Amino acid sequence: MRTMKIGKTRRTSATTAVADAAKNSVQDVMDTVTGRRAAAARRRNAIRTGVWATVFTGAGILHFIHKETFNDLVPEELPGTQTQWTYGSGAVELALGAAIANPGTREAAGRAAAWFLLGVWPGNIKMAWDWRNETPVKRAIAFLRVPMQIPMIADVRKLRSPRSGWMS
């Protein structure tokens, strides 16, 4: 059996082979874990993409179908008519839904969606104020929308294109 000097210790070729095998096994395990993490991140991103594309597209359609509901959310102090703001924000939501669904524009759409959600936050605050004397269920919906905007903004910012990797 051949011996090798490694550092200050002597190892036989058999112990060196065992050490190398252990090192390779650890690397194989790390590669597997990393691969699983990447796959899990891709699944989370696919789910996030589907949810937000659906939410924005659905909300955009609702702006055109039920404009009166959305008109009531528009602060009167804004220039233009409430219907103009309703249709405009509905069109933006439709565009955001399409851009989120498209891998090439998804990341930029996520950033734009975060800004959009921040921009419509005053409408949610107005709704909570306007509905303060409504039924308990309506009040709960209106008041929950205000703080829920924060995690929504944070989540759309996590949208990634499939090629951007799990660490980005």
* 39 pLDDT more than 60: yes
Per-residue pLDDT averaged across 119-127, rounded? 87
127 contacts 142 by C-beta, under 8 angstroms:
yes
Tell me the pLDDT band of 43, cut-offs 50, 70 and 90. confident
* 17 pLDDT more than 80: no
pLDDT at 168: 39
pLDDT at 112: 95
Cα-flanking dihedrals φ and ψ of residue 102, to 5°?
-90, 120
What is the C-alpha to C-alpha distance for residues 61 and 51, in angstroms, rounded to an integer? 15
Using a pLDDT cut of 70, give the percent of the chain over it: 75
pTM for this model (two decimals): 0.71
